[in-house]
Amino acid sequence: MIDIKFLRENPDAVRENIKKKFQDHKLPLVDEVIELDAQARKTQQEADNLRAERNKLSKQIGALMGQGRKEEAEEVKKQVNAQAKTLEELAEREKELGEKVAKIMMTIPNIIDPSVPIGRNDEENVEIQKYGDPVVPDFEIPYHTDIMEKLNGIDLDSARKVAGNGFYYLMGDIARLHSAVISYARDFMIDRGFTYCVPPFMIRSNVVTGVMSFDEMDAMMYKIEGEDLYLIGTSEHSMIGKFIDTIIPEADLPKTLTSYSPCFRKEKGAHGLEERGVYRIHQFEKQEMIVVCRPEESPMWFDKLWQNTVDLFRSLDIPVRTLECCSGDLADLKVKSIDVEAWSPRQKKYFEVGSCSNLGDAQARRLKIRVNAEKGKYFAHTLNNTVVAPPRMLIAFLENNLQEDGSVRIPKALQPYMGGKTEIR
């Protein structure tokens, strides 16, 4: 959410930003919110003036009563009582206008970084760099669920009976591999100075609307019926929510946290053949990283975060590449985003395994995450990035470490987490 003062003073810049995100249907909202904001400020001024007048009259009543001039005091009381109804109406009007302004401001996209490429959707994202040499082996690479089934590592049929499509049972060494990847990612981030955290897996609606746009909320979140609680779609939600309505001493920044959680997502819509199996599912586990920092430090932390994911995948011998997300592919709160994609030797192309985002002060403004500095208080910047999400990581891992005889090689870095195993058979 951008600052209303910025919009008020730079409406053309906000309109241009909306156009860059190809959301022209939101252009009328700029004039609408400017008008509502003007009405709200006028109403607030009228209410403030009336409150000041009532305070003045109240003092006058006290003075008159002290002088024994009761009749005059009673006349002034009538004026105060008459103003009470007007003030109540103004306060209600002020609240109503404030809510309308806030609702519109929540739908106007954040100002994107000047470096973001302009494009309509993810097809226009820009490749930045490749890490590692993509290899296509001489033998055929089966679909990932076929690899798992041959290793007695997955049961989709039973999961469908128990929970429906989009769920799975992981079994045996594949289940162990899943847990090994999570544990390795946890220690990897701790070694890089991040504090480990296991957060709440449910959050209240005010946290949900603080960390994401309404469109994202509708497409992703599961609501707990009868309660003001949502299942998290990623631990970033509750991790950023940890700082809601707080004032952080500037000396305590940055806050660097890495978190484990299960994640729950609706995943609306049809996703195609390549998203069968465990590519896009309703429940999975994930290791995440978040940073709360000074505004001037967020570009530096952005580069550090996505590099962590690249380094982790490369430590497991998986080739990856980074993609700069174009303007039309950025969620409304994001200033800048980079996707990390892993190589699929079966598909002979890369696919997304993580996403790194700088949200500027948008989440902090919504959640009132402020920093106390010598120069005064200001809103922090927040960033998040996927360390690893094992369902997709497992796909990349199995395809890149599959051997011709059907066994799966365990890279050296992961062997301690697999009880010393060097391969899965």
pLDDT of residue 268: 64
Within the chain, all domains assigned CATH 3.30.930.10 are found at 122-424
H-state helical runs in 260-332 = 298-315
Buried b (16+ CB within 10 A) or exposed e, 326-343: bbbbbbbbbbbbbbbbbb
CA–CA dist 50, 54 (Å, integer): 6
CATH fold for domain 4-105: Helix Hairpins (1.10.287)
11-20 and 28-66 helices cross at what angle (nearest 10)? 140
Residue 115 has what pLDDT? 96
- What CA–CA distance (Å, rounded) separates 361 from 382? 7
In this predicted model, which residue has the larger pLDDT, 270 or 110? Answer: 110
Q: How confident is the model at residue 272 (pLDDT cuts 50, 70, 90)?
A: very low
Question: Per residue in 228-263, pLDDT tens?
Answer: 999 999 999 999 999 999 999 999 999 999 999 999
Q: Pick the residue with more confidence: 89 or 55?
A: 89
Contact in structure between 181 and 242 (CB atoms under 8 Å): no
Give the number of other Cβ atoms within 10 Å of residue 130's Cβ: 14
More confident of the two residues 278 and 72:
278
Q: Cβ(383)–Cβ(401) under 8 Å?
A: no
Does the pLDDT value for residue 85 go beyond 90? no
- Averaged pLDDT for residues 407-416: 97
**How confident is the model at residue 374, as a pLDDT?**
92
Listed residue (154, 130, 150) closest to 314, CA to CA? 130
Residue 1 is classified by DSSP as -
The predicted structure's pLDDT at residue 273? 39
**pLDDT value of residue 188:** 98
- How do residues 166-209 score in pLDDT, each as one tens digit? 899 999 999 999 999 999 999 999 999 999 999 999 999 999 99
Percent of the chain having pLDDT more than 70? 96
- For the chain, give the percent of residues with pLDDT over 90: 80
> How many whole angstroms from its chain centre is CA 163?
27
Cβ atoms of 115 and 40 closer than 8 Å: no
CA distance 365 to 378: 9
* Residue 285 pLDDT greater than 80, yes or no: yes
CATH 1.10.287.40 residue window(s) in the chain: 4-105
Query: Cα–Cα distance between 99 and 116 in angstroms, integer?
Result: 32
Q: What is the pTM of this model?
A: 0.89
Q: Mean pLDDT throughout 342-366? A: 96
- Average pLDDT, integer, range 198-223: 89
Q: Is the pLDDT confidence value at 274 over 60?
A: no
Best CA proximity match to 76, nearest among 66, 87, 62? 62
Give the pLDDT score at 270: 44
- Give residue 215's pLDDT band: very low, low, confident or very high (50, 70, 90): confident
What's the average model confidence in pLDDT over 134-152?
94
Phi-psi domain of 367 (left: phi exceeds 0; alpha: psi -120 through 50; beta: other):
alpha
Residue 40 pLDDT > 60:
yes
- Looking at 213-361, list the stretches that DSSP marks H as alpha helix, in order from N- to C-terminal side: 214-220, 235-241, 298-315
What angle do the packed helices 172-191 and 390-401 form, to 10 degrees?
110
pLDDT value, residue 276: 66
Highest mean pLDDT: which range of 213-222, 230-239, 251-260, 264-273: 251-260
Arithmetic mean of pLDDT, 96-107: 92
- Superfamily per CATH, domain 122-424: Bira Bifunctional Protein; Domain 2 (3.30.930.10)
Evaluate if residue 76 carries a pLDDT over 70.
no
